[in-house]
């Protein structure tokens, strides 16, 4: 436990504990991060060395809405993880304002995941972690252990194993209660009568095939989040595996600016409406090294290279493995994405993804594999190397 030697008496400054992995000396550094909401500036204080690491300054793209326990923020190309509140005042003021919960889309709503994610954003949730995965029998049984004495447990386990699920970390004010209210009653038939606006009323079939899961308490949320998002290097409890098939597929990245704008659901719907399948999906927070390594083929070739790297590390991105057209998938998806410049795309190919969701050549909505021969390499980079 880091002891805070600073005090705070008003809301002019919030204090957080943050960590940054410094790769060169291979050490984990701990800082106090002071955030000043009046002008969105921040300051970093090195706990071990007891010196100011970063003087008070404005960091573009970082606001109070981005900072909560468990979040990863980019501070001048350094990926900082917020591990705790730095003082009692900050915890009291922001503890419930930035609450996390766990949500899951079950196999029978796989094709509706885009529309459901749109509803999630419309109800003021932030998706701060996401993973499409499959569960084995042991994992599914453990997930439903509260029903171990019930005769319908085998059915529930088989249901959860019947296809991909989408696990999500959701953040909002009073998130646990708010998510349960949005999901709705356990029985979709009751939901359609009592709460027709809820997700189970829209997408659930019956009490067993009720389409979504919501944690019933903050404690349960922490356990369920750790089940799906604990590091895969922790062999004591490996997380559910990726669904990537790594054959006849290509890579798509929903860029950080599109994530901040809440466009993930819209982009998924557009991809599926164009006849493509999404066979794997995961949220990543890339650091400078990984972004430069991934974009290495563009270095010295594309003038926007530096801007592309800066954009990719500016926040969370969602990487998808795209399929549906066999060996022609990379070429057909590249055509569906459109020209790299959204302005040109809007004129020549207004139905393409970049025409619909891009802003400029750097913030152009999505990345896609340009050359068919690079498709497998790009997919493997995320779903094999980084996974």
- The H or E element containing residue 319 is strand 317-323
Which of 152, 213, 233, 325 does the annotation list as catalytic?
Answer: 213
Here the tokens at position 213 are 């899961």
Burial 350-376 (b: 16+ CB within 10 A, else e): eebbbbbbbeebbbbbbbbbeeeeebb
Which of these, 216, 178, 183, 212, lies nearest to 104 by C-alpha position? 212
Here the tokens at position 129 are 């972690």
The residue to which tokens 């809405």 are assigned: 65
For residues 198 and 179, the answer to whether their CB atoms sit within 8 Å is no
Please state, as a whole number, how many other Cβ atoms lie within 10 Å of the Cβ of residue 72. Answer: 19
Q: Would residue 197 show up in a list of annotated catalytic residues for this protein?
A: no
The residue to which tokens 């089940």 are assigned: 227
Distance CA 91, CA 45 (A): 19
Provide φ and ψ at 22, rounded to 5°.
-90, 105
Angle, alpha carbons 340-291-323 (nearest 5°): 60
Which of these, 95, 81, 173, lies nearest to 129 by C-alpha position? 81
Catalogue the active-site residues. 213
């Amino acid at each position: 436990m880091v002891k805070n030697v600073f005090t705070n008496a008003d809301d002019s400054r919030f204090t957080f504990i943050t960590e940054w992995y410094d790769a060169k000396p291979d050490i984990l550094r701990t800082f106090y991060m002071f955030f000043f909401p009046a002008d969105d500036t921040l300051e970093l204080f090195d706990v071990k060395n007891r010196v100011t690491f970063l003087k008070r300054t404005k960091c573009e793209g970082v606001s109070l809405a981005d900072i909560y326990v468990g979040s990863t923020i980019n501070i001048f190309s350094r990926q900082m993880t917020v591990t705790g509140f730095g003082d009692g005042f900050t915890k009291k003021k922001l503890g419930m304002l930035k609450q996390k919960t766990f949500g899951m889309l079950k196999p029978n709503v796989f094709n509706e995941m885009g529309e459901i994610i749109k509803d999630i954003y419309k109800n003021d949730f932030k998706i701060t972690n996401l993973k499409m995965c499959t569960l084995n029998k042991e994992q599914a049984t453990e997930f439903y252990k509260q029903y171990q004495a019930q005769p319908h447990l085998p059915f529930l386990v088989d249901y959860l194993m019947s296809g991909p699920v989408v696990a999500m970390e959701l953040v909002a004010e009073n998130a646990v209660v708010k998510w349960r209210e949005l999901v709705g009653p356990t029985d979709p038939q009751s939901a359609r009568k009592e709460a027709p606006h809820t997700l189970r009323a829209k997408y659930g079939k019956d009490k067993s095939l009720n389409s979504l899961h919501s944690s019933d308490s903050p404690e349960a949320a922490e356990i369920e989040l750790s089940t799906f998002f604990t590091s895969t290097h922790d062999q004591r409890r490996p997380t559910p595996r990726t669904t990537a098939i790594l054959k006849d597929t290509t890579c798509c990245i929903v860029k950080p600016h599109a994530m901040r704008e809440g466009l993930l659901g819209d982009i998924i719907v557009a991809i599926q409406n164009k006849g493509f399948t999404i066979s794997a999906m995961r949220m990543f927070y890339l650091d400078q090294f990984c972004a430069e390594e991934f974009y290495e083929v563009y270095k010295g070739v594309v003038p926007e290279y530096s801007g592309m790297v800066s954009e990719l590390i500016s926040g969370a991105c969602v990487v998808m493995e795209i399929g549906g057209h066999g060996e022609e998938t990379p070429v057909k998806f590249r055509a569906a994405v459109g020209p790299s410049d959204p302005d040109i795309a809007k004129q020549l190919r207004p139905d393409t993804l970049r025409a619909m969701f891009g802003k400029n050549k750097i913030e152009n909505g999505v990345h896609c594999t340009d050359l068919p021969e690079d498709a497998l390499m790009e997919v493997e980079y995320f779903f094999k190397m980084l996974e």
